[in-house]
Structure 1
Amino acid sequence: MSGNGVAVLAVAVLLLAACSEPQVTPEVATTAPAPPGACGVTGSVPGGATLVAADVPVDGRTSVQYTVLGADTCGGGVAGRPDRCGTFPWTTERNLYALGGRGWLQVAVGSAVREQIVFSAAGSSFADAYAQAAQDCGFSTLTVLDGDPVTLERSRDGRAEIVYLTGRSVIWTASTDPAVDVAGLVRLAGVAEQRSALVTTPS
């Protein structure tokens, strides 16, 4: 066999050996990156602190997520007020903390009804900031107390939304089901306020 033939044979043997070796596939991360500004940690919610499926005339399971916003993880935000109108609470978690937010409770009842409550630090101007943000985002005032908005509503694209301001939280409820209209959302916001009194938040 000529020298060229030997070289070709040697290369073929090496290629066959390489093909028979197990191939190592690089690991791919399976967790999605946290959204920009995410900083809170998961907290537990006492039983009876949220809306449940029996509260609304729609079918479906109830899912609950509670995020605790603490100084050690969320300090450093710079927001003066919510800066967007799309998805409540209209700002990142870090800036939510800077506004005075201390806990963020999210509840889904079936596929049509949503409840979100942001608990605020005592003495903060959180409610005022959210009243102005709601108005800037196209909400209309429904009720007023001592000259200040308490309940605001917005309806668009088949979805009704309520923002309800309390002494310790801002409650947002929304529905895409005609069976739960603005009046129904106002009722649910009142229920949410009573039940959420069971939730404790960082000071």
Structure 2
Amino acid sequence: MPVASSFLGGFALSAALIVAIGAQNAFVLRQGLRREHVGPIVLFCALADIALMAAGVAGLGAALDGLPGLAAALTLGGAAFLGWYGLGALRRALRPAAALAAEGGGTAMPLGAALARTAGFTLLNPHVYLDTVLLVGAVGAAQPPGGQPAFIAGAGLASALWFAALGYGARLLAPVFARPAAWRVLDAVIGATMLALAAGLAARGLG
């Protein structure tokens, strides 16, 4: 059945692209470990993915491909955002008090701030436009008649399941992160990852 084939194709492609260590996934994992605004963050990530995929299938990917200036601006903006967050994570890793706060003993991040950071990790990441809009959009646009909605539904379901598993499944690691030292290690890894991604984006944007 063409519709079922399109659905499964969209699911498989989205799952293959989204299951990777990146800024957005690291932030969702960290918020899941803190059990802080997990539902709104997961919902935002899933809906943003679905909207970007649908836009790509509708032709946004082809339009963005002809705007190299916009791609460069997004790349440099993403580098600045990731660099800022990465330095913050490293500062937390170097300060025991910050690690204790991250464990849940400090002030919780307001919902607005959490969603703003989620939006930054989602929309300031040029890879989301390369993968979600351009690649997924191109494959989705090539689906047989009637298959595009099913393709988007499959791709969106894979995204929603992944973010839900990442955000809500993180609590299974709670015993490990009952110690401040574990939070310090996590923040150190996140900080180093963010800075490495920022450096790569900056080199690409300035190259």
Rg: which structure is higher? 1
The answer, yes or no, to whether TM exceeds 0.5 is no
TM-score (norm 2): 0.25
| Structure with higher RCO (Cα < 8 A, 6+ apart) | 2
Whichever structure has more strand as a proportion of its residues is 1
Whichever structure has more helix as a proportion of its residues is 2
TM-score (norm 1): 0.25
